[in-house]
């Protein structure tokens, strides 16, 4: 069944596995805080887009990085972090999301705020707790490790993540996948795996010839149960078959992949091909606060460009549900209400 109603995607019960909490600003909040911090001089949408948002395919890397740096500056206090977490869950629920995993980088937030890991984590949990009292949504936090961090930084985040593994539902490795070999992080993810923390790895996003191999290495070397993006697997049928044989789930972010130019244009995106080849996939928004999108916009994209149907989305969200690291009882509590 096909739908053209612009509001239709909001009515689809959704599971989202790949959203960066520290880049999930509500537009009005982003504008308010950016104005207060003098990152923008007006609320004119053209200035906001020019200084704070990525809404067109990336061509000038320095300009893009500056926008992420400006957005990072918003993360300057515990009150702001609590507000961010609450509004993210409120907006997700109003967009039809019933199960959502939120990942964040302690290092990214600490650079902006100067807060301790404990204060950062507690502030985010306060916002989550406030939202859960109001909205029937299941959620959990994933701790991000960054490829450009030195070993001492990674060790500190590892220690904090393991100490708080009753709260963190998973761990992730992010940033430029082409800049560092997976073996460089084996020591780290061996320990996370030994501690029983589920693992997802950003890989297979960068459009280069080695990208599919990095997906395979992330699974074999870093214990990845899921792959963030993973779309470049399409270059290598053997890697696709390997992903399927290991029952590894790909967290695909269609609009993000277009904006980062992981593919030349939207119509060349491999989502449908991966889906029809039997790969476990989900639809995700990645950095909606920077892209000024909602998850429903990614659904619109799949409907418009690839004729996805309500039946397709039901199958995709079932796969996402099964791949989610969130406790089964919490998932059933919100999903069984349908």
| Share of residues in the chain with pLDDT > 70 (%) | 96
Task: State the DSSP H helix or E strand holding residue 145, giving kind and residue range, or none if neither.
Answer: strand 138-146
How does residue 7 score in pLDDT terms, banded at 50, 70 and 90? Answer: low
Q: Kindly give the residue spans of alpha helices, DSSP state H, lying in 133-231.
A: 151-163, 186-194, 211-220
pLDDT in tens, 45-84: 999 999 999 999 988 767 787 899 999 999 999 999 999 9
pLDDT in tens, 194-238: 999 999 999 999 999 999 999 999 999 999 999 999 999 999 999
Residue of 206, 215, 296, 211 whose CA lies nearest to 260: 206
Q: Which residues contact 42 (CB under 8 A, 6 or more apart)?
A: 35
* Domain spans in the chain, listed from the N-terminal domain onward: 10-325
Residue of 27, 69, 33, 28 whose CA lies nearest to 51: 69
Q: Which position has the token pair 């994933």?
A: 142
CA distances in angstroms from 42 to 32, 50, 55, 69, listed in the order given? 10, 12, 19, 19
Kindly tell me if the per-residue pLDDT of 139 is higher than 80: yes
Distance CA 338, CA 334 (A): 8
Task: State the DSSP H helix or E strand holding residue 92, giving kind and residue range, or none if neither.
Answer: helix 78-94
Q: State the CATH class of domain 10-325.
A: alpha beta
């Amino acid at each position: 069944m096909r739908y053209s109603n612009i509001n239709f995607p909001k009515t689809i019960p959704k599971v989202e596995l790949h959203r960066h909490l520290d880049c999930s600003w509500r537009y009005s909040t982003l504008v308010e805080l950016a104005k207060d911090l003098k990152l923008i001089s007006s609320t004119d949408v053209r200035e906001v887009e020019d200084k704070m948002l990525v809404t067109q395919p990336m061509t000038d890397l320095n300009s893009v990085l500056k926008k992420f740096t400006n957005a990072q500056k918003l993360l300057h206090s515990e009150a702001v972090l609590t507000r961010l977490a609450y509004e993210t869950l409120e907006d997700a629920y109003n967009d039809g999301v019933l199960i959502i995993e939120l990942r964040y980088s302690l290092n990214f937030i600490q650079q902006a705020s100067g807060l301790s890991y404990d204060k950062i984590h507690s502030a985010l949990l306060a916002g989550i707790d406030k939202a859960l009292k109001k909205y029937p949504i299941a959620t959990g936090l994933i701790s991000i490790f960054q490829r450009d961090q030195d070993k001492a930084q990674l060790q500190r985040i590892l220690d904090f993540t393991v100490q708080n593994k009753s709260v963190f539902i998973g761990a992730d490795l992010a940033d430029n996948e082409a800049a560092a070999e997976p073996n460089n992080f084996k020591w780290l993810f061996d320990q996370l795996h030994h501690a029983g923390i589920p693992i997802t790895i950003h890989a297979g996003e960068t459009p280069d010839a080695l990208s599919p191999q990095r997906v395979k290495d992330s699974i074999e070397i870093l214990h990845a149960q899921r792959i963030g993006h993973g779309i470049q697997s399409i270059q290598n049928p053997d890697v696709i078959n390997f992903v399927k044989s290991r029952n590894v789930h790909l967290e695909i972010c269609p609009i993000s992949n277009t904006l980062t130019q992981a593919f030349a244009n939207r119509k060349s995106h491999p989502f449908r091909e991966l889906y029809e080849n039997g790969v476990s996939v989900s639809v995700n928004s990645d950095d909606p606060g920077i892209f000024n999108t909602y998850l429903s916009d990614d659904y619109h994209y799949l409907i418009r460009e690839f004729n996805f149907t309500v039946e397709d989305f039901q199958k995709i969200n079932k796969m996402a549900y099964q791949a989610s690291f969130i406790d089964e009882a919490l998932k059933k509590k919100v999903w069984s209400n349908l």
